[in-house]
Amino acid sequence: MSNHRYLEAVDMGIDTHEEPVVYMRKDCDICRAEGFEANTRLLIRHGERNLIATLNTVSESVLPNGGIGFSKSAWRYLGLTAGLEVNISHAPVVQSLSAMRKKIYGNALSETELASIIHDIAERHYSDIEIAAFLTGCAGGRLSLEEIIALTRAMVDSGSRIHWRQYPKVFDKHCVGGLPGNRTTPIVIAIASAAGLTLPKTSSRAITSPAGTADTMEVLTNVDLTLDQMQSVIHQTGACLAWGGRMNLSPVDDLMIRVERALDLDGEGQLVASVLSKKIAAGSTHILIDMPVGPTAKVRDESQARRLADLFHAVGEALDVRVECLTTDGTQTVGDGIGPAEEARDVLAVLRNDPGAPADLRERALLLATHLLVMANGDSYEEAESRTREILETGGAWQQFLRICEAQGGLREIPRAPRQKIFTSERSGRLTTMDNRRLAKLAKLAGAPSSAVAGLRLQAKLGQRLAAGDPLFTLYSDTPGELDYASDFYQSNRDIFEIA
Amino acid sequence: MSNHRYLEAVDMGIDTHEEPVVYMRKDCDICRAEGFEANTRLLIRHGERNLIATLNTVSESVLPNGGIGFSKSAWRYLGLTAGLEVNISHAPVVQSLSAMRKKIYGNALSETELASIIHDIAERHYSDIEIAAFLTGCAGGRLSLEEIIALTRAMVDSGSRIHWRQYPKVFDKHCVGGLPGNRTTPIVIAIASAAGLTLPKTSSRAITSPAGTADTMEVLTNVDLTLDQMQSVIHQTGACLAWGGRMNLSPVDDLMIRVERALDLDGEGQLVASVLSKKIAAGSTHILIDMPVGPTAKVRDESQARRLADLFHAVGEALDVRVECLTTDGTQTVGDGIGPAEEARDVLAVLRNDPGAPADLRERALLLATHLLVMANGDSYEEAESRTREILETGGAWQQFLRICEAQGGLREIPRAPRQKIFTSERSGRLTTMDNRRLAKLAKLAGAPSSAVAGLRLQAKLGQRLAAGDPLFTLYSDTPGELDYASDFYQSNRDIFEIA
């Protein structure tokens, strides 16, 4: 029997995020003959590529006869153009789902079983609810150390892997659970590469925050590098500050992290595998983990930090990379700016040793860079620290940062927001708390990160004494509508700042 | 701040099954201002109703400016008509999700916590991946007896509940994990109600099988009854054979079972809560569970059957209903017909005592009816059995079945398929196995259950000696296309029947 039927591809113009969805007419011959209904899982083939998609059935008016519609991610993944014929059949049984169920029923998985699950997720053979079930089955400490190691290895194998043959040691730093404004990375990379370390840094754009490191760096230079361009920048300067989205490093992580975030699960095994797989795929041999600890941070207390650090060390050792973990203060924001342009302004202020540069951002960047130097050379902390301070204070870091930006396409001037509004304290007293989560929301309502100039700049620090009328922060926006919208939000959320 | 924005409702003509999806233009003001993106969870309000839906963003060509599109289930749930204004805001935090995560992390849930989860699922506040995570967290024996009891109670409370005040004992039967063709229900109900028992039987349509009891009964009479109509049928005859879809009995079960089925999870706690919540909501006080045991059935062996029976008893006792479990042979199909009309033909043949009536179907129906009588009257099995045989053999069951059909709208004549084709054995030998799963698929390819006449009729029994050319089965179909399609499938799957 011909198990396979053909229809012509139609771009539906619908973005379902990563979950691939296809649309077929309920009255179409194939649906009727095959018994396809809404939610049936289908195998769609075009040339060498295939994916498994979820079916949505549609009325006659939505699609022409003989057509099959695709969501954006399915369209992209299959590399379609309008009118191409695609082949449709019932999705085969995905074998690794039985391993997934084994995990759900509380059994340990072998390296082969974990590899087959990760392979099938990467090949788009899992639906979102199947990914959700896998992540749930692994949460709550139900992954053993051996399983976390196997998971990390499988995730590394799911994408490209960079080999830096000419560099024996390759460094990276990563922050677990970011604080708003904590934009140390560009400064740390500039200092450590000025000291001779190799740091092919790739970063992500913001997903839920007002700015990711890639968004901030994009204010200052081109970050959209191919792998070849990235390698050329490294050869010239020893470091780069690129967007990682084009590099295909542990791509399966992006598929899983999206579901994990929607469920607000933060399994430690999954976290360690996620971070290390990206870094190992990027060719890092030495990885420094910045772990902010605080009641509203991802890591709540010292005992959780120690448990997580033990896991990082053990998995790193098994995969032949050196990992060091550093616990830092996670109780408040770092730096004064929130949003791509305002965070870039803080970064440049520190690198140029401007007198108004945020001291907390400078000190934290120095701490991290110092630890990288200790890892690299086995120096004492004091020796390494005097070296990093010297590099920053004598302008060595700034010169190095300029070289990196030059190699990536030139330094850009930081744009100014066309609209701004200063908000002041209504009464006098001491500023006792700021709500970081709502500050981040305020910056996003003002338009960050899709508008780079949008965001805010804090003008008061925790513990500071304020008089009524003293400035608290300035809000920046690209459009009057967004400025009003964010202002309205602040008016009904004035308790973001508590003044006692 | 106005957290709420308005757009005009548009029916997208897209069936996403139960998951509610809304469609907004990526370039629309509200998306930009609120930071809505594909996969954002939104609260949609219209009048008194609200639901939480997942956002898909669309291109300008897909929706008019100022419009918001709805999937069919979302449209229905909110009771919308084109052009109505709906109110859109970020979905609030669903509080019970923290209880869900507590379960995922291995903690027991209180009755209140389980009730809040079930309430939120019923109110369409959970996405499919959140339902998947909840079910996964409960699978693998991670629900205690107390939790299963609380879950069942919460599921009963999620919908309507029928109280049969004038009947002290109300009976039901349920089969766990159906075998193809196992259409005992209409016969059992006719016999037991002829013996004076009250049986307000509601059944489902097929979901993955070629026919459900409601599909089969619909060939013979009207099954789409309102609650009032059903009560009137019960008052006239003591029983009914209705479709349960309109009754709103444990509606949350339908939302969960769909996800459970997609994940192929069969948690025992979930199964017990699912079955008992439907029956208790229907007002049953005495429930007989038919548990076919076999290597390809849902219940694999006697020890699993005993464990499940213990759970059924304990939960039944806590909810004040009497439950009896009966293990039956689950190794082969029951009856000769597969598909709505062919199964209806078997049912009538048994009720009318036709000489060619399938003996296995008759004996199994008698067994179940006898057990119901034992439950009802405390008679010995032998007494009850002679009573049920008498009712069937003297035509009492047939007369009672006619009364029920008459009360529901009159007996219909079973239609004949316009197309049929006989398939014969290619060689001589003994018929040793039939693949039930692929026989069901064959019936579905022929058009069952959406075409009631489609299906097949077996003409050989397991163990029977066949000569080459002897008939194996007849295939029935509404259209030449479907007949060809099913025939093609059989040609490449002739090993459905093994003749040694």
Please state the rounded mean pLDDT for residues A69-84: 95
Does the CB of A258 have a partner CB in chain B at under 8 Å?
yes
Are A133 and B263 an interchain contact pair (Cβ–Cβ within 8 Å)?
yes
Assign a CATH topology to domain B5-90. Barwin-like endoglucanases (2.40.40)
Using a CB-CB cut-off of 8 Å, the residues of chain B touching A259 are 129
Using a CB-CB cut-off of 8 Å, the residues of chain A touching B269 are none
Distance from CA of A362 to the nearest CA of B (A): 31
Question: What are the pLDDT digits (tens) for A234-260?
Answer: 999 999 999 988 888 999 998 998 898
A:153-182 residues touching chain B, CB 8 A cutoff: none
Does the CB of A467 have a partner CB in chain B at under 8 Å?
no
Residue B266: active-site member: yes
At a CB cut-off of 8 Å and minimum separation 6, what does A406 contact? Answer: none
Are B1 and A262 an interchain contact pair (Cβ–Cβ within 8 Å)?
no
Structure tokens at A416: 């100014």
pLDDT at A3 over 60: no
| pLDDT reported for residue A107 | 94
What is A295-345 written as a DSSP string? TTSSB-SHHHHHHHHHHHHHHHHHTT-EEEEEEEE-SS--SSEESHHHHHH
Most A CBs within 10 A among B5, B14, B138, B444, hence the mutation to make, goes to B14
> Which member of B11, B266, B470, B484 is catalytic?
B266
Q: Which CATH architecture group holds A93-156+248-270?
A: Up-down Bundle (1.20)
Does the CB of B140 have a partner CB in chain A at under 8 Å?
yes
| pLDDT reported for residue A4 | 56
CA distance B439 to B457: 10
pLDDT at B2 over 50: no
Distance from CA of B28 to the nearest CA of A (A): 13
Question: Is the sign of the CA dihedral A460, A463, A464, A465 positive or negative?
Answer: positive
CA distance B393 to B136: 48
Which CATH code is given to the segment(s) A171-245+282-408? 3.40.1030.10
At a CB cut-off of 8 Å and minimum separation 6, what does A84 contact? Answer: A8, A9, A46
Report the run of H or E that residue B89 belongs to, with start and end. strand B85-90
As a whole number of Å, the end-to-end CA separation of chain A is: 78
Q: A419-424 and A471-477 as β-strands: parallel, antiparallel, unpaired?
A: antiparallel
Point out the residue among A13, A135, A139 whose CB comes nearest to the CB of B61. Answer: A13
Distance from CA of B348 to the nearest CA of A (A): 28
Q: Which residue of A has its CA nearest to B97?
A: A263
Q: Evaluate whether B5-90 and B171-246+282-408 have a shared fold.
A: no
B419-499 has CATH 3.40.50.410 classification: no
Contacts 24+ apart (CB under 8 A), A59-65: A59/A25, A59/A26, A59/B13, A60/A25, A60/A27, A61/B13, A62/A23, A62/A25, A62/B12, A62/B13, A62/B14, A63/A10, A63/A23, A63/A24, A63/A25, A64/A10, A65/A25, A65/A28
> Which member of A128, A266, A360, A435 is catalytic?
A266
Using a CB-CB cut-off of 8 Å, the residues of chain A touching B20 are none
Strand order in the sheet with B322-329: B171-175, B286-293, B322-329
pLDDT at B1 over 50: no
Q: Which residue of A has its CA nearest to B98?
A: A264
pLDDT at A188 over 90: yes
Point out the residue among B1, B23, B450 whose CB comes nearest to the CB of A14. Answer: B23
CA distance B392 to B186: 12
CA distance B475 to A494: 73
Point out the residue among B13, B32, B106 whose CB comes nearest to the CB of A62. Answer: B13
pLDDT at B327 over 60: yes
pLDDT at A450 over 90: no
pLDDT greater at residue A211 or residue A296: A211
Q: Which residue of A has its CA nearest to B135?
A: A133
Residue with tokens 């229809």: A7
Average pLDDT, chain A: 92
Q: Which residue of A has its CA nearest to B60?
A: A13
Are B488 and A1 an interchain contact pair (Cβ–Cβ within 8 Å)?
yes
**pLDDT band per the 50, 70, 90 thresholds, residue B342:** very high
Does the CB of A257 have a partner CB in chain B at under 8 Å?
no
Q: B239-243 and B199-203 as β-strands: parallel, antiparallel, unpaired?
A: parallel
Are A14 and B56 an interchain contact pair (Cβ–Cβ within 8 Å)?
yes
Point out the residue among B129, B445, B485 whose CB comes nearest to the CB of A262. Answer: B129
Point out the residue among B1, B62, B136 whose CB comes nearest to the CB of A133. Answer: B136
CA distance A496 to A434: 5
**pLDDT band per the 50, 70, 90 thresholds, residue A180:** low
Is the separation of the CB atoms in B363 and B352 below 8 Å?
A: no
Does the CB of B442 have a partner CB in chain A at under 8 Å?
no
Is the separation of the CB atoms in A140 and B139 below 8 Å?
A: no
Average pLDDT, chain B: 92
Point out the residue among A23, A37, A129 whose CB comes nearest to the CB of B129. Answer: A129
| pLDDT reported for residue A1 | 37
| pLDDT reported for residue B221 | 98
pLDDT at B105 over 70: yes
Structure tokens at B422: 């006989």
Does the CB of B64 have a partner CB in chain A at under 8 Å?
no
Assign a CATH topology to domain B171-246+282-408. Pyrimidine Nucleoside Phosphorylase; Chain A, domain 2 (3.40.1030)
pLDDT at B3 over 50: no
Are A127 and B71 an interchain contact pair (Cβ–Cβ within 8 Å)?
no
Using a CB-CB cut-off of 8 Å, the residues of chain B touching A263 are 101, 129-130, 133
Question: What are the pLDDT digits (tens) for B150-190?
Answer: 999 999 999 999 999 889 999 999 998 766 667 999 999 99
Please state the rounded mean pLDDT for residues B262-269: 84
Report the run of H or E that residue B102 belongs to, with start and end. helix B96-104
Does the CB of A12 have a partner CB in chain B at under 8 Å?
yes
At a CB cut-off of 8 Å and minimum separation 6, what does A177 contact? Answer: A291, A292, A297, A298, A299, A330
Question: What are the pLDDT digits (tens) for B7-39?
Answer: 999 999 999 988 899 999 988 878 877 778 888
The pTM score is: 0.88
Are A140 and B105 an interchain contact pair (Cβ–Cβ within 8 Å)?
yes
Using a CB-CB cut-off of 8 Å, the residues of chain A touching B127 are 262
CA atoms within 13 A on the CB side of A340: 28
Q: Among A23, A32, A90, which residue's Cα sits nearest to residue A63? A: A23
Report the run of H or E that residue B472 belongs to, with start and end. strand B471-477
Domain locations along chain B = 5-90, 96-157, 171-246+282-408, 419-499
Point out the residue among B26, B71, B265 whose CB comes nearest to the CB of A101. Answer: B265
Rounded to two decimals, the ipTM of the complex is: 0.86
Homologous superfamily assigned to B96-157: Transferase, Pyrimidine Nucleoside Phosphorylase; Chain C (1.20.970.10)
Question: What are the pLDDT digits (tens) for A324-381?
Answer: 999 998 877 789 999 999 999 999 999 999 999 999 999 999 999 999 999 999 989 9
| pLDDT reported for residue A29 | 79
Rounded to the nearest 5°, which phi and psi values hold at B101?
Answer: -65, -35
Is the separation of the CB atoms in B284 and B170 below 8 Å?
A: yes
* 3 state SS of B92: coil
Q: Among A113, A133, A116, A128, which residue's Cα sits nearest to residue A41? A: A128
CA distance A369 to A376: 11
Is the separation of the CB atoms in A246 and A228 below 8 Å?
A: no
Question: What are the pLDDT digits (tens) for B271-283?
Answer: 999 999 999 999 9
Using a CB-CB cut-off of 8 Å, the residues of chain B touching A136 are 104, 132-133, 136-137
Q: Among A71, A365, A487, which residue's Cα sits nearest to residue B54? A: A71
Is the separation of the CB atoms in B424 and B472 below 8 Å?
A: yes
Q: Among A361, A336, A328, which residue's Cα sits nearest to residue A185? A: A361
Q: Among A445, A498, A454, which residue's Cα sits nearest to residue A474? A: A454
A:265-294 residues touching chain B, CB 8 A cutoff: 265
Residues listed for chain A: 500
CA distance B321 to B313: 9
Distance from CA of A103 to the nearest CA of B (A): 9
Using a CB-CB cut-off of 8 Å, the residues of chain B touching A485 are 1, 33
Using a CB-CB cut-off of 8 Å, the residues of chain B touching A74 are none
Instruction: Count other Cβ atoms within 10 Å, centred on residue A340.
Output: 33
Instruction: Count other Cβ atoms within 10 Å, centred on residue B465.
Output: 11
pLDDT greater at residue B331 or residue A17: A17
| pLDDT reported for residue B180 | 67
Does the CB of A207 have a partner CB in chain B at under 8 Å?
no
pLDDT at A282 over 60: yes
CA distance B473 to B421: 9
Rounded to the nearest 5°, which phi and psi values hold at A379?
Answer: -65, 165
Point out the residue among A26, A139, A263 whose CB comes nearest to the CB of B15. Answer: A26
